[in-house]
Amino acid sequence: MDDKNILEANKALIRRWFEEVWNQGRADAIDEMMAPGAPCHGLSDDPAQALRGPEDFHPLHDMFRGALSNIEVVVEDAIAEGDKVVARCSVRGRHIGDHLGVAASNALVEFTGIAIGRVSDGKFVETWNNFDFLTMNQQIGKQ
């Protein structure tokens, strides 16, 4: 595959990630698109400690899908260069579950984020995530 096709494949992968994993709630797609042990920076409660691979990502996915079962992530832009791909996202949903450490508020949740993934052999082997969870927490009444 030439460089242009690799870049397009990487953009398709990140779009597929948000569509299948988040919008469709396909937990098995995590294992299909993320390499075992892949560090996922910016998603754990401890900023110095990355989540590691599907094994650590599944509980995070379950927590968010439980709290925002109708979550919709829109990839506004996808940019690829080398082995990295970036998605600028808008996230929407309704807080209908108790899974984020606060009782369901039925509040509409809207926030943005950016995800960067390093891709090898068609899977994410490392990711960096910067989502505005502060805004989300304020919207659901979590202090």
pLDDT of residue 68: 93
DSSP for residue 33: H
pLDDT of residue 63: 95
- Per-residue pLDDT for 1 more than 80? no
pLDDT of residue 143: 75
Supply the pTM of this predicted model: 0.94
Number of structural domains in the chain: 1
Q: Whole domain around residue 54: which residue ranges?
A: 3-140
Rounded-to-integer distance, Cα 118 and Cα 111, Å? 24
How many secondary structure helices (H) and strands (E) does the chain include? 4, 6
Beta carbons within 8 Å of 50's beta carbon, 6+ residues apart:
39, 40, 41, 42, 43, 44
DSSP for residue 34: B
pLDDT, averaged across the chain: 96
Q: How confident is the model at residue 36 (pLDDT cuts 50, 70, 90)?
A: very high
CATH number assigned to the domain comprising residue 13: 3.10.450.50
Give mean pLDDT, residues 49-63: 97
pLDDT of residue 4: 87
Residue 95 in 3-state DSSP?
coil
Give mean pLDDT, residues 60-87: 96
Give mean pLDDT, residues 34-56: 95
